[in-house]
Amino acid sequence: MNTQSLVSIVSGGIAFDVPNGTPPGKEAAENAVFRLYPDRASIQEKIYSVRRYWMLLFDQSVRGLSVGAPVELHGIQIGKVVSLDLEYDAAMKNFYVPVVVAIEPERIRVSNGTDPKLSTDGQAETLLKWLVEERGLRAQLKTGNLLTGQLMVNLEFHPAKAKEKLAHRDGYPLVPTMPGSLEQLQESLTKIISRLEKVPFDEIGADLRLVLQEARTTLQKIGGFAGTLSSETAPELQATLVELQQTLETMQGTVGIELQQTLVELQKSVGQDSPLNYNAQKTLEELALTLRSLRELTSTLEQQPQSILFGKENKPRE
């Protein structure tokens, strides 16, 4: 701990210095006012002169949110909470928490455009209206410190969400809000629990118990049937297979010989000098003569089609 003299500690000493990187100013005039900081580190913090005030309306618990809590966009602080109250809407019969935040546009560095602080309130209003209605700017509460449970306000763009118009309340632009990730998780868990409560687990358990009993009885019957099959049916089936094998061997010996004799006789009957072969040859010769007669008839009809009615014409010499 670095201190001055004991007198300085008791009386409250004041040290004068300039921020790092800042050159000393001119000699102070008489009755000049100097701002006092609580500690040396505080003088390094930047002071922003431009502030835009927005209102956020939450219908959920804001436990952990306090005045001075940061307002962040993409993880960078651009403002802080300046006030929060509890309000009852008599018409809607519901409680709301209006939170007023101070946005400091000078925290945002601009490239390829104009300064976001925008010198007039009208220009700032136009920019905010475009961010809310076109880009889907929404505010939600998020945990800033898991150990202390401190909350912060997080600004994000949700272009896929339903578009909302920029409204006003108590003279402040009203930025739409949406549930935080923790609230969404709690809501999902609540829906799952409510659905699980509707599942008739007792009836399912009773039905499952009956099914298991029936399955056990069926397995016992199958076991008895398997025993009977092994002790009674299997020997009978084996004896039947043996008899069938013997029958096939007998058929193979008897029927095989008879079939071989039949094939020999058939081969003799269709030999080159067999009656069947001779008759087939005669039939083919008669068929050839018939085809030749038909060919001559066709030629005659093509040359003398009237011969069907008047007969064949005589030649002059006949």
Nearest alpha carbon to residue 104 among 56, 35, 55, 46:
46
Q: How far is 292 from 298, CA to CA, in rounded Å? A: 10
User: Can you give the pLDDT at residue 181?
Assistant: 61
Kindly state the average pLDDT of the residues 263-281.
66
| Alpha-carbon 266 to chain mean position | 77
Nearest alpha carbon to residue 79 among 47, 104, 109:
104
107 and 148 co-located in one domain: yes
Residue at 139 is within a domain: yes
H/E stretch holding 196 = helix 181-198
Kindly report, residue by residue over 58-110, the tens digit of the pLDDT: 988 888 899 999 999 998 999 999 999 999 989 888 999 999 999 988 888 87
User: Can you give the pLDDT at residue 61?
Assistant: 86
Q: How far is 310 from 318, CA to CA, in rounded Å? A: 17
Kindly report, residue by residue over 18-70, the tens digit of the pLDDT: 888 788 888 989 999 988 888 777 887 777 778 889 999 998 888 889 999 99
Report the range of poorest mean pLDDT among 114-123, 185-194, 219-228, 256-265: 114-123
Kindly report, residue by residue over 170-194, the tens digit of the pLDDT: 999 999 998 876 655 666 777 788 7
DSSP classification of residue 43:
G
Kindly state the average pLDDT of the residues 218-243.
77
Sequence-distant (6+) residues with CB within 8 A of 227 are none
Q: How far is 134 from 115, CA to CA, in rounded Å? A: 20
Kindly state the average pLDDT of the residues 125-138.
90
204 and 184 co-located in one domain: no
Residue at 238 is within a domain: yes
| pLDDT over 90 (residue 240) | no
Residue at 187 is within a domain: yes
pTM over 0.85: no
User: Can you give the pLDDT at residue 250?
Assistant: 76
Question: Are the C-beta atoms of residues 54 and 101 closer than 8 Å to each other?
Answer: yes
Q: How far is 186 from 181, CA to CA, in rounded Å? A: 9
Residue at 21 is within a domain: no
Question: Are the C-beta atoms of residues 166 and 156 closer than 8 Å to each other?
Answer: no
100 and 172 co-located in one domain: yes
52 and 104 co-located in one domain: yes
184 and 60 co-located in one domain: yes
User: Can you give the pLDDT at residue 69?
Assistant: 92
Name the domain count of the chain: 2
DSSP classification of residue 64:
T
114 and 93 co-located in one domain: yes
Segments forming the whole domain that contains residue 169:
48-193
User: Last residue of a domain, which of 161, 178, 193?
Assistant: 193
Residue at 163 is within a domain: yes
241 and 141 co-located in one domain: no
87 and 188 co-located in one domain: yes
Residue at 22 is within a domain: no
86 and 181 co-located in one domain: yes
User: Last residue of a domain, which of 172, 193, 214?
Assistant: 193
H/E stretch holding 52 = strand 52-58
160 and 246 co-located in one domain: no
138 and 248 co-located in one domain: no
Kindly state the average pLDDT of the residues 288-297.
79
Residue at 241 is within a domain: yes
189 and 52 co-located in one domain: yes
Residue at 54 is within a domain: yes
Q: Which two tokens stand for residue 229?
A: 């099959």
| Mean pLDDT across the chain | 80
Q: For the chain, what percent of residues have pLDDT higher than 70? A: 81
Strand partners, 95: 88
Q: How far is 65 from 7, CA to CA, in rounded Å? A: 41
User: Can you give the pLDDT at residue 199?
Assistant: 80
User: Last residue of a domain, which of 193, 222, 239?
Assistant: 193
